[in-house]
């Protein structure tokens, strides 16, 4: 099967043998794909190598054949974000998350859109942690394992003043106020969950409460094996400087 003029984002590229690359891309029509780019070394292939850099938006032609498609052409559609510091790590994180969780050859236009939205935000001033939480929310939804952020697992409406544990299969579970202060700090506030539902930036303390709970949900879907980027990201619950 031929794939002609397919829009995609490059997730990752690594050398294969002496002159080729193994490239992971996220496409609109076919979801995550693996591409084999042969013979990309040499001065005449500089534009092609540039197009296959992570976070680059491309259009490509390829021929499906087995697990990997054979790349025939790739052209950049814009200039990939030039990122530094936490924004660079966030870009690595979003791509690693998609590679680990999105199945190959499974179309997900919603995930493609969410990835593109976060990619464009990484270069802009704003709250990086909030952008990542929104992407995690949209990723879970696109994969069919998202939550109703306004409703607890028991059917009751989420209380902005309460604290919740996010159960990967049931959703928000309200926790008793008798927990210790240390335990409560690891729980998500109801205000933060409602902010996610409304796509509205919450207060700093509420935003910080989402990180560990969202990570626990993602870890469940990752099969208990964490991400390399988690080791580097640290705590992005504060606004990026």
Band (241; pLDDT cuts 50, 70, 90): very low
Are 31 and 103 contained in the same domain? no
In this structure, what CATH number is given to the domain that contains residue 170? 1.20.1440.120
SS3 46: helix
66 phi-psi bin (left φ>0, alpha ψ -120 to 50, beta other): left
93 exposure class (CB count in 10 Å sphere: 0-12, 13-18, 19+): buried
How large is the average pLDDT for residues 80-101? 94
pLDDT of residue 179: 63
Q: Check which CATH number belongs to the domain holding 35 and give it.
A: 2.40.50.140
Structural domain harbouring 215 = 85-233
Q: What local confidence, expressed as pLDDT, does residue 176 receive?
A: 82
pLDDT of 236 higher than 70: no
Residues 109 and 212 in one domain: yes
Q: Are 99 and 18 in contact (CB under 8 A)?
A: no
pLDDT confidence of residue 132: 96
User: Into how many domains does the chain fold?
Assistant: 2
Provide, rounded to the nearest whole percent, the portion of the chain with pLDDT above 70: 94
Look at residue 235 in the predicted model and tell me its pLDDT.
54
pLDDT in the model for residue 45: 85
pLDDT tens digits, 19-56: 899 999 999 999 999 999 998 877 778 889 889 999 99
Average pLDDT over every residue of 164-170? 96
- Asked if residue 138 and residue 67 are part of one domain, the reply reads no
Q: What is the pLDDT of residues 202-215, one digit of tens each?
A: 999 999 999 999 99
Considering only residues 237 and 57, tell me which one the structure prediction assigns the higher pLDDT: 57
pLDDT higher than 90, residue 67? no
Angle between helices 85-101 and 210-221 (to 10 degrees): 30
Domain end marker among 45, 76, 107? 76
Residue range 198-227: mean pLDDT, rounded:
96
pLDDT above 80: residue 222: yes
Distance CA 214, CA 236 (A): 13
Name the residue among 55, 220, 214, 54 with its Cα closest to residue 130.
Answer: 214
Rg (CA), the chain: 20
């Amino acid at each position: 099967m031929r794939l002609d003029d397919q829009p995609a984002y490059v997730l990752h590229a690594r050398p294969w043998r002496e002159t080729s690359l193994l490239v992971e891309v996220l496409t609109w029509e076919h979801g995550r794909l693996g591409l084999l780019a042969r013979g990309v070394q040499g001065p005449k292939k500089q534009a092609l190598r540039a197009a296959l850099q992570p976070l680059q938006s491309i259009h490509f032609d390829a021929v499906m054949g087995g697990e990997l498609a054979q790349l025939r052409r790739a052209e950049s559609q814009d200039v990939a974000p030039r990122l530094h510091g936490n924004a660079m790590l966030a870009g690595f994180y979003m791509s690693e998350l998609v590679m680990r969780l999105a199945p190959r050859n499974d179309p997900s236009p919603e995930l493609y859109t969410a990835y593109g939205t976060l990619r464009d935000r990484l270069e802009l001033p704003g709250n990086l942690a909030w952008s990542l939480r929104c992407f995690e929310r949209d990723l879970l939804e696109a994969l069919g394992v998202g939550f109703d952020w306004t409703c607890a697992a028991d059917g009751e409406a989420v209380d902005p003043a309460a604290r919740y544990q996010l159960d990967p299969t049931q959703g928000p579970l309200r926790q008793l106020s008798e927990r210790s202060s240390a335990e409560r700090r690891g729980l998500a506030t109801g205000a933060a969950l409602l902010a996610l539902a409304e796509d509205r930036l919450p207060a700093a303390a509420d935003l910080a409460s989402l990180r560990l709970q969202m990570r626990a949900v993602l870890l469940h879907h990752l099969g208990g094996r964490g991400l390399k980027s988690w080791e580097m990201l640290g705590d992005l619950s504060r606004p990026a400087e």
